[in-house]
Structure 1
């Protein structure tokens, strides 16, 4: 009993040190936003304008668009007492907010709920993903009108579910078969899975394409799909051979599958990704029938924001000095039965991550978490999904990158689940207050016409 008291007391003291005291830092925020977005202005000025207006709309949107601020802060804020040198080599998603989870049909035909955004994938402390997810829960919960006490309970439930699942994986290697499906979920997460099950390829093709006789091509949709010039079109077609070569031979389809039929630039997707070039590429698919055409998404990638806090932790040589390859590797490392079309390409001298625009993908909608019960239920599955992603992406995926079992290392590091849960909750509320202040600084600069990109 005395030992438990000592552990809990130490955890309480740590929470006080890890909890972030919000301060006004307008000049720094403006400089960081400008520095991270300005390099993209030469290629996609209009999308950056959309990004700024979107971030100005809410603190949650601002948070989603500024991962680099978070990781600059991780350089100086206190470390967790539940982290070790070994857990610092967790292959994290890097941007684990609530909107970066969702349902999709995996390559084995299972409709599952997982983490689904890998742009910031990098090696770092597992607690960074927990901190970022928990802070996002505070911001989303407050915007949904939930009480801080209910949000705090949900965060502790999320952390507890994460730790419990990591403990399970450490003792059984169950990560190789664990998936969140209709049979082991409920609430808004199950609703998201069920919505994915009703999606069809025909619906996706009807949304973005049109038929002229037996020939399918993209529509031009204002604010969503825009025609590309002949140089861009040619560059993308020329890059396809490199993309196909980036897919393991055992997972490649016949060459005819990748025959390009049409290309459009995709506009207005995401928040953090706005300003990065994104293209939809219509390819032939498994047959010459127009009914099974496939849409590929090619997304420009830049250095991970996580590298701002852990520079060199994932050596560039490990991903071929290609940021698209880094993202493709993260996507394959963190998911069971990954998309068979995941690869990467160089288009016009820029790095791209390429994968299928899945007909069955459904993003998790945080606006549906309108009660304490809904948030609490969802939090359990968010914690489990994050644990799954971390546990899969260790020696089980590539022992040359992570040479040991991360689930075992995390399990060993968490000497008190309640202590870690309290620490993450304290951090999240303190950091959410900082995000609110940073957002107000940003809104002021945006309204004053200060250059932000």
Structure 2
């Protein structure tokens, strides 16, 4: 499907797109598929979020990578499904509310430009979503984003500062700072538990048929058994000191109706209670999610898939490695488990997790956010590349981007525009065709 980036045009794209969507979602039961397709039919941007496989089919291995990468130096951990709404607020133990990536299901090691192209396309689609169609404003937003990303590589950052850097209300632009302050003020573990659970001493999940459903006795027993040993296996696998605090499993349920691209994937919530340093009790929710191969896997070269298979014994372990490489602070409950020969990621359901809503932003505020998004993406890529280089003082990835930042900044900006703007138009055309045929696809 690479006609839109200057390659073959020898087939009917519309038919291929519908066939690809049908195949990608063939494993889903009828009801989750119907809900997902209804979401995707709402707008080009939501369609884009639900069809990451089309992006990778169109761009994986593209000759355009060689303009500013396409080599060993340009590889780092990617988010893999980067877009405006895959950055949000989060908070881990003892830290401030931060801003960054909050989804690592599609993360992998590949050329950094994939994240830039996908994110910049989402900027265009998000503008259209907000009924902002002025071409000059959109181009300025794209230039602000790509320029901000590139400028971040102009100065050397010592390892201790790089790995400790965060984006909080104290060092971000006004719209983001206000959002983070509001999130910290309005969110807490107590409020999250009140929303999702009932009781205190014998806390259980609330009856909420649209979001959770009970597990049968056999499934519940299987999940509890796997959870009881997951931390020991994780710590031993990573060579970590074994976690001593006991974990009491209070309740387990199936999570339904969550996400867009991952909607319908098997997912569970576990309500657990553990002691902090042997004294205070804490109740929290673990998010347990079936991990498939990252979307890009099906479009990688044989050499790349062999490397992936050699490095990761399961997709959930790959998810944990990506989380540690790209996130600001490790989730203390991060891990994985196996259930009926499938691998599941485990992480705490963050009480402060919240998407940044762009719908009310003025054009000026949107440009401030475009600059911020570029800085965040650059830091994540840079930190991950340094970890791939065994935490050395710098990395070839940083050195090369430093040269591009000084020698070809305007060319880099133009190139990002030349990829993202036409592709956003293509996404809109694909969405139009999907919108017409979505009812029929739901029944297949």
Task: Show the 5 A alignment for 1:75-90.
Answer: 75=60, 77-80=62-65, 81-90=67-76
Decide which of 39, 45, 68 is 1:54's aligned counterpart. Answer: 39
For the 8 Å contact 2:320–2:345, the answer to whether it is kept is yes
> Which range is displaced more, 132-141 or 338-347?
338-347
For each residue in 1:102-123, what CA deviation from the matched residue of structure 2 results, as whole angstroms up to 9, or x when unmatched?
A: 1111345132111111111111
Say if 2:207 is the partner of 1:223.
no
Q: Which residue of 2 aligns with 1:207?
A: 195
Equivalent-residue separation in structure 2 for 1:173 and 1:133 (angstroms): 28
Asked if 1:284 corresponds to 2:269, the answer is no
Matches within 5 A, 1:336-355: 336-355=328-347
SS of the residue 1:226 aligns to: strand
262 and 407 in structure 1: CA distance in 2 versus 1, 3 angstrom threshold: same
State the 1:251 CA deviation. Answer: 6.5
TM-score normalised by length of structure 2: 0.88
Q: Deviations over 1:130-187 (max 9, x none)?
A: 1100100101111102223212111111111111112334688742232211111123
Q: Give the equivalent residue in structure 2 for 1:394.
A: 385
Q: What is the DSSP-based 3-state SS (H/G/I as helix, E as strand, rest coil) of the residue aligned with 1:353? A: strand
Q: Does 1:294 align with 2:284?
A: yes
Distance in 2 (CA, whole Å) between partners of 1:354 and 1:339 is 10
Aligned to 1:135: 121
The answer to whether structure 1 residue 321 and structure 2 residue 321 are counterparts is no
The answer for the alignment partner of 2:372 in structure 1 is 381
The reply to whether residue 440 of structure 1 matches residue 432 of structure 2 is yes
- Rate the CA distance shift 1:163–1:174 in 2: closer, same or farther, 3 A: farther
Which residue is equivalent to 2:109? 123
- Displacement of 1:280 after TM fit? 0.8
Contact 1:92/1:122 (<8 A) preserved: yes
Q: Which residue of 2 aligns with 1:243?
A: 230
Deviation at 1:317, TM superposition (A): 4.1
CA root-mean-square deviation = 2.7
SS at match of 1:346: strand
2:5–2:58 contact (8 Å) kept in structure 1:
no
8 Å contact 2:149–2:377 — kept in the other structure?
A: yes
The corresponding residue for 1:425 is 417
**Distance in 2, Cα, partners of 1:365 & 1:291:** 34
* Contact kept? 2:257, 2:264, Cα under 8 Å: no
Q: Is the 8 A contact 2:34 2:442 kept in 1?
A: no
2:183 maps to which residue? 196
Matched, 1:305 2:288: no
| CA distance in structure 2 between the aligned counterparts of 1:37 and 1:140, rounded to whole angstroms | 24
State the shift of 1:250 in Å.
4.1
Q: Distance in 1 between matches of 2:160 and 2:383?
A: 9
**1:436–1:218 CA distance, 2 compared to 1 (3 A):** same
Q: Which runs of 5+ in 2 are unaligned?
A: none
C-alpha separation between the residues in 1 aligned to 2:22 and 2:265?
15
State the alpha-carbon separation in 2 of the partners of residues 186 and 404 from structure 1. Answer: 28
Q: What's the CA shift for 1:188?
A: 3.0
| 1:375-429 CA-partner distances (Å, limit 9, x unpaired) | 10111111111111111112425639xx944322333355412211111122111
Q: Tell me the number of residue pairs that the alignment of Structure 1 and Structure 2 aligns.
A: 428
Determine whether 1:154 maps to 2:141: yes
Partners of 1:289 and 1:173 in 2: CA distance: 32
Unaligned runs of 5+ in 1: 1-16
Quote the residue 2:402 is aligned against: 411
